[in-house]
Amino acid sequence: MTSQLNITVAGAGYVGFTLAAILAEKNIVRVLDIDHDKVRRINSNKSAIEDTGINEFLLSKKIEMTATIDQKESLSHADYVIIATPTNYDPSSNSFDTKSVEDIIKSTVQINPKCSIAIKSTVPIGFTAKIKEQYPDQIIFFSPEFLREGSALNDNLNPSRIIVGCFSEQAKVFADLLLDATSKQNAPVLFMGSSEAEAVKLFSNTYLAMRVAYFNEIDSFTIIKNMNAENIINGICLDERIGNFYNNPSFGYGGYCLPKDTKQLLANYEDIPQNLIQAVVEANNTRKAFIAEEILKKNPTCVGIFRLTMKKDSDNFRFSAINEIIDVLSQKKIKMKIFEPTLSKKIYMGIEVCSNLSSFKNDCDLVVANRNSDDLNDIQHKIFTRDLFDEN
């Protein structure tokens, strides 16, 4: 059990906000973010994200959490600064854009050089070691997160493991801090070097992407060969070595993490011999192109895009596989309409966004859904989906 600490979490996305929420039960937590709307919602005891159970958690727990856009206010008294800002993949540099992480570290060193800095943002392998060379007197370490969009709170409360890329006393206190905030007090805790911890994150996500790509390629095979994909996948996954999980076909792996993490790992290989990592990246592009062609084969008059989000119970559609399928259909001059209730815009990617589900279903002769929904039960004859198991 750790004593109460002052903690600043930089970044109010899935990782940062859910982590801040569970830590705020027993600590004083400040959330630092540049989004004024998120700051306002947090200070009104409302969730900054769409996530299963998060609003109930905020209402049922006595938490001490505030939010601000002011760096000095949030960083000055922190014992720990946890960085959970986004690191998008930049194709021009073939690497993550770590500027937001570096900026927070620089500000923290200037404002509060005695605190410890924990990086939760996903970074290239070797990043933490290099940044520590710039600030040798500052305690800086990497601690990966393993969360799923839409269930980040539950994953933080019930972690598969806690990994800290450092052996210092501050790192051990941080691990205890995370463990103390969970509902799973026996979660495995591993300490290792910073580069090893960074590698765990990228290799873990690339394995998951590989698994998605594998079952998607089984599904592609069954479409062409006119076979039953569900029977084949069920038969494969009864082997306990393979397991009945993460096997539901989709339009391709997407969301914020898997596409960028696989590309970053591939870039980290540089001159190291490999075939598999390259194949994982390429397989996803092949799958999305294949799905687009299958849609075109149906000669639709108007294609309805049902939801842009990759997963149910999520409001995030950054890098969703459907975006690239929309691109292909647009290039072929296919008329489309989009139904996405989390989107306030009337136009997305040059396509009309419908707010009325009934009108959307009536206007489209083919409705494309990465994940099926009870809302579509009355038009199953119009649906194009590869969702076999009703799972994310």
Question: How far is the C-alpha of 89 from the C-alpha of 205, rounded, in Å?
Answer: 14
Query: Using CA atoms, how far apart are residues 392 and 375, in angstroms rounded to an integer?
Result: 16
Q: Where are the alpha helices (DSSP H) in the chain?
A: 14-23, 36-43, 54-60, 71-75, 99-111, 127-134, 152-157, 169-180, 194-225, 229-237, 258-269, 276-296, 321-331, 357-363
Q: Which helix (H) or strand (E) holds 245?
A: none
Q: For residue 89, what are the β-bridge partners?
A: 96
Q: Where on the phi/psi map is residue 319: left (φ > 0), alpha (ψ -120 to 50), or beta?
A: left
Q: Pick the catalytic residue from 166, 257, 354, 364.
A: 257
257 is catalytic: yes
Give the Cα-Cα-Cα angle 3, 198, 310 (nearest 5 degrees).
95
CA angle 296/300/303 to nearest 5° reads 95
Specify the DSSP element, H or E, that contains 381.
Answer: none
The amino acid sitting at 135 is Y
The total number of residues written for the chain in this structure: 392
List, by residue number, the catalytic residues: 257
